Amino acid sequence: METKTAEMASSLIEDEVFLAFSTYATLMVLKTLLMGPLTAYFRFSRRAFANAEDVWGKSEEEKKKKLRTHPDVERIRRCHQNDLENVVPFVLVGLLYTLTGPDPATARLYFRAFAASRLCHTLAYVLPLPQPSRALSWATGMGVTLCMAYRLLSHKMLL
Residues 130-159 that bind a copy of itself (CB under 8 A): 130-131, 134, 138, 142, 145-146, 149, 152-153, 155-159
Residue 101 CA to residue 59 CA, distance in Å, equals 61
Cβ neighbours of residue 110 under 8 Å, at least 6 residues apart? 94, 144, 147, 148
Beta strands in 5-158 (DSSP E): none
Residue 148 CA to residue 37 CA, distance in Å, equals 31
The amino acid occupying position 7 is E
User: Hey, which residues between 85 and 104 contact a copy of itself (CB under 8 A)?
Assistant: 85-86, 88-89, 91-93, 95-96, 98-101
Q: How far is the CB of 131 from a copy of itself (least distance, A)?
A: 5
Q: How far is the CB of 93 from a copy of itself (least distance, A)?
A: 6
Per-position x/- string for 17-36, each x denoting binding to a copy of itself as judged by CB under 8 A, each - no binding = -xxx-xxxxxx-xx-xx-xx
Q: What is the 3-state secondary structure (H, E, C) of 105-118?
A: HHHHHHHHHHHHHH
Q: What is the DSSP letter of 48?
A: -
Q: How far is the CB of 136 from a copy of itself (least distance, A)?
A: 13
Tell whether residue 80 is a contact of a copy of itself (CB under 8 A).
yes
Site for a copy of itself (CB under 8 A): which residue of 51, 57, 59, 61?
A: 51
